[in-house]
Amino acid sequence: MVSLRRMSRPQLADLPQGARVLAIRLSAMGDIVFALPALAALKQARPDLRVDWLVEDRFAAVLEHHPLIDEVLIFPRKGWRSGRGIGPMWQHLRKLRKQRDYALVLDFQSNLKSALQLLFVRSKQRVGLAAPLAREGAQRFHHVHAEVTECAHRSERDAALLHAVGWQGSVQLQLQWPLPSDVVNAIPAAAQDFTLLHTGVTAYGKDKEWPAEQWIELARALLKEGHQPRLLWTPPEKEAAEAIAHAAGNGVELAPATPSINHLMALTDQARLLIGTDSGPVHLAAYRGTPVVALFGPTDPQVYAPPGTKVQIVYAGKDGEAPPPRDRSKRSPWMEKIGVAKVLAASEEALANL
């Protein structure tokens, strides 16, 4: 349900021809992907609008070749985190102030970090989430608030910002856009028709980890079923991925390196199937149309299921059952409840539905 707190609210239909709109979703990768269906809906409703997107530097590559975005604005998180102080941040905010006037701002982030950006963005029409989904007082910087339930899927929540300005419709949960040819050609020709396993987790999401012995058993079973299992990895994850591949035996190998997010997208585009836990790469691959099997334990698939039409969910809980409170510092016992046989069955179903 969407409620509007101000009667003098903007309407998409009333925006000037060719007006500029700013979307703010700084992080993380999965959350950016969840907001992309709202972007597609916005451009479908008003193809004439020009859309800029403000995003953290570490995730800018997700958006830099997106055909619906006119300009990607970079929030310099790396400069801030590297200890260079306030200099890079102040330069960014001054540039943002001088950027342009926006007819409409859509604050998909709606927290203190995005509120800081809003202090320097020139716009009289800012739409964001209402509290409590708007955090750290961010709602005070919005002119229009969209209220949605906490159990709403993330893409539906982001679409609520468009409903708040008069848009009616449903979002499209899948879209693939072209990548640079040099990136696509960098993926070896031998890396075709494989099944990709995303075994790694971030330090912030340690509770999403599926046991290594389960990945080993799954890789062996997939191999027997005629798959070509390939393990996705980043440099910090390479040693753990190599250990799984070695233990699984001949025929299970590391996937080609993905030195950028664009390389990651090119690799997952070529995969026959991707199996992984609730993560940014899984969400991004699903949105681009790769068949996906997503393993959920400490997070609720009703809220965080990958956006796509070729998605199979393996959930440790019962249908409609909320997961227990999260402890991100260690593996959730719920992940250990997910059996290999159930993942295999979901993989077969994912491929059978193509």
Distance separating alpha carbons of residues 123 and 160, to the nearest angstrom: 20
Phi/psi at 109 (5° precision): -75, -55
Q: Does domain 181-352 have CATH number 3.40.50.2000?
A: yes
Same-fold call for 12-163 versus 181-352: yes
Q: What's the predicted TM-score (pTM) here?
A: 0.94
Calculate the alpha carbon distances from 1 to 69, 126, 150, 242, 269 in Å: 28, 19, 11, 47, 35
Question: Which of 3.40.50.300, 3.50.50.60, 3.40.50.2000, 3.20.20.80 is the CATH number of 12-163?
Answer: 3.40.50.2000
Q: What is the DSSP string of 64-115?
A: TT-TT-SEEEEE-HHHHHTT-TTHHHHHHHHHHHHH-EESEEEESS-SHHHH
User: 3-class DSSP state for residue 53?
Assistant: strand
Q: How far apart are the first and last CA of the chain?
A: 33
**Each residue's pLDDT expressed in tens, for the chain with a length of 354 residues:** 333 344 467 899 999 999 999 999 999 999 999 999 999 999 999 999 999 999 999 999 999 999 999 999 999 987 655 555 688 889 999 999 999 999 999 999 999 999 999 999 999 999 999 999 999 999 999 999 999 999 999 999 999 999 999 999 999 999 999 999 999 999 887 666 899 999 999 999 999 999 999 999 999 999 999 999 999 999 999 999 999 999 999 999 999 999 999 999 999 999 999 999 999 999 999 999 999 999 999 999 999 999 999 999 999 999 999 999 999 999 999 999 999 999 999 999 999 987
Q: Do residues 89 and 80 lie in contact, with contact meaning Cβ atoms separated by under 8 Å?
A: yes
Q: Where are the domains of the chain?
A: 12-163, 181-352
**Among 137, 134, 122, CA closest to 52:** 122
